[in-house]
Amino acid sequence: MASLREIAAQGRRIEAHRPWPRVVVTEDGWRAAVSELAAGRATLLGLWGESGTPGLVHLAAMTRNGADIAVVTLECPLQTFPSVGAPHPPAIRLERAIHSLYGLEPVGASDARPWLDLGFWDVEFPLGTRLPAVDPRPAYDFLPVEGESLHRIPVGPVHAGIIEPGHFRFTCSGETVVRLEQRLGYAHKGIEGLMAGADIERAARLAARTSGDSTVAYGIAFAHAVEAALDVEVPVRARYLRALMAELERLANHFGDIGAICNDASFAIMHAHCGILREQVLRAADACFGHRLMMDCVVPGGVATDLHADGPPILQAALKMFRQRFPLLVQLYDNTASLQDRTASTGIVRSDYAETFGAPGFVGRASGRDFDARKALPYAPYDELHFTVPVLTAGDVNARVWIRIHEVEQSLALIEQIIARLPGGPAVTAIDRRGSTGEGLGFAEGFRGDVLAAARIEDGRVIRCHLRDPSWFQWPLLEAAIEGNIVADFPLCNKSFNCSYSGHDI
């Protein structure tokens, strides 16, 4: 068996690709990479298509400890490629999306149904051959279910709460869910299509709007990819300010979601108090950077807005308040037996699934997967800051809540260190766009997990950009986690994952 590194060494290296290698491989090389994934020796990071003559499919993978990362590319002159999903299920939805968007067909796939394409577009394969869509379009076949006294509950795309659109098809035996099947794509905006040909500023704005709750994480991942592609040196101050924004974003989301999970167990007081903490984070972010969600604050080359002069005292006052208030809420969560009764042993994600799917973020870390891009693929300034990555093994709703509680504590400590060490100097480097050409791969650890960005730049324009949301490797695990739970616990399980619809649907 050839290791990922050997496979990468045998392919044709694309010199313009940084910082990790991209190699064009033969079909044998492709199959070898896929078998590394299937054997569990490598973790899938991303799988995306590209139009052109010939069409291309790219597969990003890393060895288990994150030591080696490589992108392997297969040319598809016949518009086909050997299926990755058949031997390695985490790739199934990704390759279905490649087929629906680019028309590149996975041969031997275990599931040939479209993904993201719900039959409403004017064209088929909108980013590939763009064939006019033919009506009537075939109905979507949900997976068959067999058994006595089963009933189905269709939910969505318009949900009961203030949440994003998606469709869930529950098959139940009495109260118990025997199968959940998701159908997503309602928020598909064609971001990859809009990115192609956009200048770097516009592309950055699109990246920042891929998933609004992770706008900073997307900003950083996209910036990492562009900066790697164009070999841009980012000022140290900008690195620190990005980390400050990223930790504020993590805090805001964790506070909000810890409250919202409890609210889904009808424990409204946690929701009310956590909502106050979340609002305080957003107000601090607004005072520091001029935008509550810090949208468009990260740009390739640095940050668009330097920290406001009053920023450090505002942040210190906020930290002090969080450290007073949050432990009381943690106690409240921990000491309320009726709440624990709902969260403990509910919605368990098996640790082997978490490992196979490379489950990003707190979903993985609550099921024993010790991975955080800030540690495993360290980017400045995290290599200079002290923090730990909490890991639990129970894999239930309760464990996911506790991971987030611990991550709040780590983020508070990180923000303190960042304020104390914040270096002076410029906050942005101008990118010389004329003639700037290259390819880059970047990561950022958002609150939900690692965001991947792959970008190819030619003459200051984005030719191709792919953004992979962590939710791609979390949504399928939610289907598995709900099995055997009662329908009434679905909102609780769903909120404890809080997967992105928009980020997944791109």
272 binds other proteins (CB under 8 A): yes
Query: In the numeric block, which tokens belong to residue 150?
Result: 């089963």
Single residue of 165, 378, 426, 460 touching other proteins by CB under 8 A: 165
Q: Which of 193, 290, 423, 484 contacts other proteins by CB under 8 A? A: 193
Q: Are 317 and 248 in contact (CB under 8 A)?
A: no
- The verdict on 430 binding other proteins (CB under 8 A) reads no
The answer to whether 49 touches 73, Cβ cutoff 8 Å, is: no
Q: Does 186 bind other proteins (CB under 8 A)?
A: yes
Residue 431 to residues 301, 380, 488, Cα–Cα distance (Å): 6, 19, 52
Closest CB to other proteins among 178 and 295?
A: 295
Sign of CA dihedral 387, 211, 312, 260: negative
Cβ of residue 100: shortest distance to other proteins, in angstroms?
11
Asked if 161 touches other proteins (CB under 8 A), the answer is yes
187 part of the interface to other proteins, by CB under 8 A: yes
Q: Give yes or no for residue 202 binding other proteins (CB under 8 A).
A: yes
Amino acid, res. 133: A
Number of residues that bind other proteins (CB under 8 A): 53
Cis peptide bond prior to 54, omega within 30° of 0: yes
Considering only 51-59, 270-278, 416-424, 460-468, which stretch makes contact with other proteins by CB under 8 A? 270-278
CB 311 within 8 A of CB 287: yes
Paired residues of 181 in beta bridges: 169
**What is d(CA 215, CA 436) in angstroms, rounded to the nearest whole number?**
26
Distance CA 216, CA 226 (A): 15
Asked if 209 touches other proteins (CB under 8 A), the answer is: yes
Query: Is residue 264 at the binding interface for other proteins, with CB under 8 A as the rule?
Result: no
> Minimum Å distance from CB 232 to other proteins?
24
User: Dihedral sign, CA of 125, 129, 133, 138?
Assistant: negative
> Residues, the chain, total?
506
Name the one range near other proteins by CB under 8 A: 12-20, 23-31, 232-240, 288-296.
Answer: 288-296
Binding status of residue 335 toward other proteins by CB under 8 A: yes
Q: Assess contact for 395 and 357: CB atoms under 8 A.
A: no
| Cβ nearer to other proteins, comparing 90 with 259 | 259
Which of 125, 114, 119, 175 is closest to 150 using CA atoms?
Answer: 175
131 near other proteins, judged by CB under 8 A? no
Burial of 162 (0-12, 13-18, 19+ CB in 10 A): exposed
Asked if 134 interacts with other proteins (CB under 8 A), we say no
Q: Give least dist CB 329 to other proteins, A.
A: 8
Residue with tokens 């480097």: 429
Give the binding range for other proteins (CB under 8 A) out of 45-53, 199-207, 360-368, 472-480. Answer: 199-207
Q: Does 118 bind other proteins (CB under 8 A)?
A: yes
Chain contacts with other proteins (rule: CB under 8 A): 118, 120-123, 126, 157-158, 160-165, 185-191, 193-194, 202, 205-206, 209-213, 215, 256, 269, 272-273, 275-276, 278-279, 282, 286, 292-293, 295, 328-329, 332, 335-336, 500-502
